[in-house]
Structure 1
Amino acid sequence: MPGPQWKHVTRDTALVAAAPLVLAAFGLWHPGGLRPHNAALWAELHIWLLPVWPLLALGLVVPLWGRPQRGAAGAATVAAWIAGFGFAVFYTGLDAVAGIAAGVAEQHGGADRREVVNPLFHTGDALGQAGVWCLAAGVAAASVALFVRYGPRVLPGTALLLVCCWSFFDSHIFHPRGVVTMLGFALGFALWVWAAAGRAARGAGEPGSTPRA
């Protein structure tokens, strides 16, 4: 692989893998359930997570960035990015409602705190489910766009990411399955980056080809 291409691959891999790896690390410390004794940690943890969740959508943006396409592939690219935005919005909402708000309510709500906490969890769960559906739709759409350009070499990453989306519906980042799910997202998005880079590297050696900047 040419030197400049290697730099791009390293950069793109770091961009798509950073957020899920950070989320996996947080999952090792995430309480298994909200209780009065861990309410302060619960709320604080989700404050720290607030800016991290939207970055998971970079896995849908980076592999397609700078690769303009037309027709169905171009429409799939736009759909993937819109779905990534939907994930960022809805799952951040889950973090704020069922994470920060519920943690503060559990900590300071008094004897009737569950009358507040339970509806917050119900609302947060709905937001989280919507976010994961958006992420799954984004993975499917991005896979179409990448398949048109790079062929079946993108399918292992797609398969892994779809399995992770299925697990994500009820695992969040709870240890152990949630942590494994986040590690799977990191690997799946990286596989997309490597698939695109492998095709680009071969194309760079062909007559008349132009490496991606």
Structure 2
Amino acid sequence: MRPTTAVLATALPALALAVLGSSHPAVLTPESAPWWRDLHVIGLVLFPLLALGPWAVVRAARPAGPVGWVLEGLAVVLGLVYAAFYGALDALAGIGGGHETMRVGPGPWVAALFEIADALGIQGAYAYLAATVLAAMLALVAAPGAWRVLAGAGALFAVVGAWSFLTSHIYWPYGVATMVMLAIGHTAMALAATRRTRPTARRAPHGEPDRTPATQQ
């Protein structure tokens, strides 16, 4: 994976969510309900893209061969679990909660809706944490030489951010800080992992394989 592609995948979704979260209402009320609903409609697109961060790191850092494909497949599965279950939280508590508060007003239904939304969302958040831990381990192994320092710093930012994501959502200020940490962490790991080299087979003039190191694309 090229460094530019890695930066776009790891930084932009998290930073976009940080910007969105800076205006997230602290409490759902009839007054805040319209933006509460509309904000989470935007989140339906942005939240699944957050899974690109761990995947981009795993893609850049995975070893060659079948093991690498299995690890990347695991990252994809964890990303899908995150997107599905966290998307349910976004739809139920975000869009549904905001819309019904506008139409019906506050009531005991709010707590019941948030209960099922949180129960589903936490499963997605744990899947995201698992994907981030996988990415961190692979980046630390793959990063060459001094780049491992950058990978280590990125791993710290990303794992702490993913742990904070379990409870912070994108609320200001902790949720916004969480998104910034994820952007910094995954981007640093991806940049470090893309600096590694691995042998690739090239054809010599007479058909003999010529193995020379090449930067992983």
TM-score by length of 2: 0.83
Moved more, 139-148 or 46-55: 139-148
Equivalent residue, structure 1, for 2:214: 210
Secondary structure of the residue aligned to 1:32 is coil
| Match of residue 195 from structure 1 | 192
Residue 79 of structure 1 is matched in structure 2 by 74
Tell me the CA shift for residue 106 of structure 1: 0.9
Counterparts of 2:181 and 2:92 in 1: how far apart (Å)? 26
Contact 1:77 1:141 in 2 (8 A): no
Aligned residues: 201
Deviation at 1:35, TM superposition (A): 0.7
Q: Is the 8 A contact 1:150 1:195 kept in 2?
A: yes
C-alpha spacing 1:91/1:118, structure 2 compared with 1 (3 Å): same
Q: Indicate the residue corresponding to 2:176 in structure 1.
A: 179
Moved more, 18-27 or 162-171: 162-171
**1:57 counterpart = 2:51:** yes
Deviation at 1:79, TM superposition (A): 1.9
**For the structure 1 residues 165 and 78, does the alpha-carbon distance in structure 2 shift closer, same or farther, using more than 3 Å as the test?**
same
- Secondary structure in 2 aligned to 1:192? helix
1:20 pairs with 14, 35, 44, which one? Answer: 14
Residues of 2 paired with 1:29 and 1:162: CA distance? Answer: 25
1:146-157 mapped onto 2 (5 Å cutoff): 146-150=139-143, 152-153=148-149, 154-157=151-154
Alpha-carbon separation, structure 2, partners of 1:140 and 1:80: 10
Residues 74-107 of structure 1, C-alpha deviations (whole Å, 9 max, x = no match)? 5433222211111111111110000000111111
Which runs of 5 or more residues in structure 2 are unaligned?
199-210
Q: Which amino acid aligns with 1:145?
A: L
Match of 2:125 in 1: 132
Cα distance in 1 for residues equivalent to 2:71 and 2:138? 6
Kindly name which structure, 1 or 2, has the bigger radius of gyration based on alpha carbons.
2
User: Hey, what's the Cα distance between the residues in 1 that align with 2:40 and 2:65?
Assistant: 40
Could you tell me which residue of structure 2 aligns to residue 11 of structure 1?
5
Q: 1:73 to 1:156 in 2, by over 3 A?
A: farther
Are 1:40 and 1:104, in contact at CA under 8 Å, matched by a contact in 2? yes
Deviations 1:19-74 (A, max 9, x none): 10000000111100101111111111111111110000001222233655346555
**Structure 1 alignment gaps of length 5 or more:** 202-206
Name the SS of the counterpart of 2:19 in structure 1.
helix
Counterpart contact for 1:73–1:144, Cα < 8 Å: no
1:100 counterpart (72, 95, 101) = 95
Gap change, CA 1:73 and 1:145, over 3 Å in 2: farther
Residues 99-146 of structure 1: CA distance to partner in whole angstroms, max 9, x if unpaired? 000111111114xx4222211111111122111100111112223333
Structural RMSD (CA): 2.4
Q: Which one has a larger percent strand, Structure 1 or Structure 2? A: 2
Distance 1:191 1:138 in 2: 16
- Normalising by structure 1, we get a TM-score of 0.85
